[in-house]
Amino acid sequence: MEGQSGRCKIVVVGDAECGKTALLQVFAKDAYPGWQGETQEFCPNAKVVLVGCKLDMRTDLATLRELSKQRLIPVTHEQGTVLAKQVGAVSYVECSSRSSERSVRDVFHVATVASLGRGQRQLRRTDSRRGLQRSTQLAGRPDLGNGNGNGTEGEIHKDRAKSCNLM
């Protein structure tokens, strides 16, 4: 086939939301598609929860070997927390859908609490090994929490119930 010029069609196939579009945009434009601009335009009051997935791979020997070949290590909880602050997230939480159904439920609990405006309160479940105790609530977001004296803790405002939440 060397020296022959021709056209070919490449079809990218994958599950929904697996990253097909991002793959194509990185190839075509050499840039990862940003979600922050769209979020700020269409859901300006959205609360962002950064989720570190595949937590089980942090201790997986095969994964650690592959990363070490490239002189890399898995992302740490601290690195995730720093990134969450950089993107303006209200919380950082880690989970593993492979090894812990509870940690996945905890992610949705953190997102629910954040969307209801109760993000400043520490979220910890004592019987969860790596769930809510691994979540980090980020301070410095005045639009969250009820520490401002507006309303009671159990009160849900109608405008909050209609707001977006991103994970």
Return d(Cα 22, Cα 96) in angstroms, integer: 23
According to DSSP H, which parts of the chain are helical? 20-29, 36-42, 61-69, 77-86, 101-115, 158-161
CATH code of 162's domain: 3.40.50.300
* Domain ranges, residue 53: 36-166
Domain assignment of residue 18, yes or no? no
Mean pLDDT (10-residue bins), the chain, 167 residues: 71 81 84 77 87 92 95 95 91 90 89 77 46 52 40 41 52
pLDDT of residue 2: 60
Domain assignment of residue 153, yes or no? yes
Domain assignment of residue 108, yes or no? yes
pLDDT of residue 165: 55
Domain assignment of residue 15, yes or no? no
Return d(Cα 87, Cα 36) in angstroms, integer: 8
Domain assignment of residue 11, yes or no? no
Domain assignment of residue 112, yes or no? yes
Domain assignment of residue 67, yes or no? yes
